[in-house]
Structure 1
């Protein structure tokens, strides 16, 4: 598991029901309990009671990973292949899905966790990468 410091930009992997398979950008406010917990502030999520304040949570180290490397920043000419694993930006986070088709300038993405299939422009898609043993690993094909 990676060790993070105050100010590091990270992604949080949600394990809550309804949010499984989603990643949210955050910043580490402080490591806690010998780096087994972290206090983070989300970039796009806000407090339920005060929607002008960014959401701050204490999360387990196994829910946090570095920001994935940018392959090509918002490349609108990028193409994806049938059954390729991607992350789609929706509802303030990145959701893991699989390309199931293309229609004009949008790609259809199927989400196994929700059973939804939604069309997205290329600008809202990125290659799906997994953080394993301290390295980014490409997971290009789906097995559903």
Structure 2
């Protein structure tokens, strides 16, 4: 497992009900408990009591991953391809189910929703496994 340092940009994988399959951009404020927990500050999430302040919380190491490498997206996604869609301040894992003009329809298994997105709000889905990025892009 990767040990993160103060200032590292990461994504936090939410394990809370209703948020499964979502990733939120953050930076490490400080490592804790021998790198088994980290204090992070979110890029897009804010404190409930003071919405001008970024949300800071402690998460376990298994909820963190590095920010995925920039992937040159061609803007073309294939039917049933896994993608991440930016919505509600985070990246949500879904599957392409169709295309309509300049938008792609994405189905989210965790919520049962199917939503149309502009291509600029989509990215290729990558999984962080054994300290490496794994692509699930379908090849046709």
Is TM more than 0.5 here? yes
Query: Which TM-score bucket, shorter chain as reference?
Result: over 0.9
In the alignment of these two chains, the number of paired residues is: 138
Partners of 1:2 and 1:113 lie apart in 2 by 27
Q: Which residue of 2 aligns with 1:70?
A: 70
Partners of 1:112 and 1:35 lie apart in 2 by 32
Secondary structure in structure 2 of the residue aligned to 1:55 = strand
List runs of 5+ in structure 1 lacking aligned partners.
none
Q: Which residue of 2 aligns with 1:29?
A: 29
Give the alignment partner of residue 93 of structure 2, picking from 91, 96, 113. Answer: 96
In the TM superposition, what whole-angstrom CA distance separates every residue of 1:67-95 from its partner, at most 9, and x where no partner exists? 001112xx5x5100000000000000000
Is residue 14 from structure 1 mapped to residue 11 from structure 2 by the alignment?
Answer: no
Q: TM-score, normalised by structure 1?
A: 0.94
Secondary structure in structure 1 of the residue aligned to 2:120 = helix
Q: TM-score, normalised by structure 2?
A: 0.97
| RMSD of Structure 2 on Structure 1 (CA) | 0.8
Partners of 1:2 and 1:22 lie apart in 2 by 20
Partners of 2:31 and 2:69 lie apart in 1 by 23
Partners of 1:139 and 1:63 lie apart in 2 by 20
Moved >6 Å (runs of 4+):
none
Partners of 1:125 and 1:21 lie apart in 2 by 15
